[in-house]
Amino acid sequence: MIRLENVHKSFGNNHVLRGLTLEVPKGTSMVIIGGSGTGKSVALKCVLGLVTPDSGQILVDGKDATKGDRDAFLARFGMLFQGGALFDSMSVWQNVAFRLLRGSLKRPAAEAREIAIEKLRRVGLKPEVADLFPAELSGGMQKRVGLARAIAAEPEIIFFDEPTTGLDPIMSGVINELIREIVVEMGATAMTITHDMTSVRAIADNVAMLHDGVIKWTGPVAEMDHSGDPYLDQFIHGRAEGPIEAVR
């Protein structure tokens, strides 16, 4: 289980998180929604230790995420970045098998390549893609390679940062289905941040609405449409009028 308790984070005078409290039960898929610049990515980065919170506590399975062995902690995570964040100096299979080629999970190159090709197949990419470089792939293929890399070491917790941004509706649907299948199949705990309401309905068990650095509403995805929360209603229906200012 992941628990964020009263997390605050500011960048200069920009107070991004103002007391974020959120709980993600083990084996469930939580989707965080909210407007641009509301701190969704910062929240994920705080859990991973990429950004240090100013105050508050982040617990993963009851243990403080900022203490203890970082390598062992991060080995439990996989992350799909918004732009893929593939290493462009490496081939596709080396990207996917990055964790399997070095560090505590290191194994022989041939075995790591086999696993990488299997993971590529899992996300719908042919083995021929393995020897290409990221720059030779389309945006959708790069996302899928990023997804394959995120799941290569079979992590217990997977984060997805805007998994469908910049993709056409069909490719978005493919990625959403893949994420759902992978989460269910692996029994992983997932946290996704997105603006895409189709993704929310496809991926989420639970939804949290982040606005002004705090969670305005959280609950099961089935209750999202009749929550009665004016912020969530405005966001999911894409209305310009409402408590969320259109110009931020």
Partner 1 sequence: MTILLTPVARLGRAVLAAMGSVGRVALFFFSALGHIFRPPYYPRELLLAMLNIGWLSLPVVGLTAMFTGGALALQIYSGGARFNAESVVPQIVAIGMVRELGPVMAGLMIAARVTSSIAAEIATMKVTEQIDALVTLSTNPMKYLTVPRLLAGLITVPLLVGVGDVIGIAGGYFVATENLGFNAAAYLKNTMDFLESLDVISSLVKGCVFGGIATLMGCYYGMHSGRGAQGVGQATKSSVEAAAVLILAANFLITGAFFSV
Whole-number minimum distance, CB 42 to partner 1, in Å? Answer: 12
12 versus 238: smaller Cβ distance to partner 1:
12
Distance separating alpha carbons of residues 33 and 161, to the nearest angstrom: 11
**Cβ at position 75, least distance to partner 1 in Å:** 5
Cβ 49 vs Cβ 65: under 8 Å: yes
Q: From the CB of residue 98, how many other CB atoms can be counted at a distance below 10 Å?
A: 19
Q: How far apart are CA 15 and CA 21, in angstroms?
A: 15
Strand partners of residue 5: 57
Positions 37 through 56 that interact with partner 1 (CB under 8 A): 45, 48-50
Nearer to partner 1, 75 or 197 (CB): 75
For the bound state, the minimum distance from the C-beta of residue 170 to partner 1, rounded and expressed in Å, comes to 25
Question: By rule CB under 8 A, what string of x and - marks binding of each residue 61-100 to partner 1?
Answer: ---------xx--xx-xxx-xxx-xxxx---------xx-
Instruction: Give the shortest CB-192-to-partner 1 separation in angstroms.
Output: 15
Phi, psi of 39 (to 5 degrees): 105, 15
Between 34 and 146, whose beta carbon lies closer to partner 1? 146
Q: How far is CA 109 from CA 49, 76, 89, 93, in A?
A: 29, 22, 17, 10
| DSSP 8-state code for residue 105 | G
Nearer to partner 1, 39 or 78 (CB): 78
Among 13, 104, 170, 187, binds partner 1 (CB under 8 A): 104
Question: How many residues sit in the footprint of partner 1 (CB under 8 A)?
Answer: 24
Tokens of 153: 């070491």
Identity of the residue, 102 or 239, whose beta carbon is nearer to partner 1 in the bound complex: 102
| Nearest-angstrom CA–CA distance, 147 and 96 | 9
Q: How far is the CB of 173 from partner 1 (least distance, A)?
A: 24
* Smaller CB separation from partner 1, 108 or 169: 108
Question: What is the maximum alpha-carbon separation in the chain?
Answer: 58
Which residue type occupies 33? I
Binding site for partner 1 (CB under 8 A): 45, 48-50, 70-71, 74-75, 77-79, 81-83, 85-88, 98-99, 102-104, 149
